[in-house]
């Protein structure tokens, strides 16, 4: 017995550049639908665990702390100027 499941399809128009980028992400056994679903799916934060080396993680944390500090200093400066 053969069973066919018909999935509704849509036709979309994309630029040649978008097609090339999508095709580059496509594995041999994947459909373009598979690729689109894969790259647009929500990722769990734990999926990113282990992506950075210890040094990269440390550098990133340091950069974030520095950026937050500069941002707080800018906000304090603005608040001071507004209260004058």
Cβ–Cβ under 8 Å, residues 24 and 10: no
Binned average pLDDT, 10 residues per bin, the chain of 84 residues: 74 95 94 92 84 94 97 95 90
Please give the model's pTM, rounded to 2 decimal places. 0.46
Establish if 83 belongs to a structural domain. Answer: yes
pLDDT of residue 3: 67
- Which value, to the nearest 10 degrees, does the dihedral of the CA atoms of residues 49, 54, 57, 62 take? 160
Establish if 30 belongs to a structural domain. Answer: no
Establish if 10 belongs to a structural domain. Answer: no
pLDDT of residue 42: 84
SS3 per residue for 62-76: HHHHHHHHHHHHHHH
Domain count, the chain: 1
Establish if 42 belongs to a structural domain. Answer: no
Assign residue 16 a region (left: φ > 0; alpha: ψ between -120 and 50; beta: otherwise).
Answer: alpha
What's the domain range around 75?
52-84
């Amino acid at each position: 017995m053969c069973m066919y499941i018909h999935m509704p399809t849509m036709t979309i128009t994309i630029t040649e550049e978008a097609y090339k980028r999508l095709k580059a992400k496509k594995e041999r056994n994947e459909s373009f639908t598979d690729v689109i679903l894969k790259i647009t799916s929500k990722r769990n934060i734990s999926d990113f665990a282990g992506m950075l080396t210890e040094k990269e993680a440390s550098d990133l944390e340091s950069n974030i702390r520095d950026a937050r500090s500069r941002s707080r200093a800018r906000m304090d400066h603005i608040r001071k100027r507004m209260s004058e």
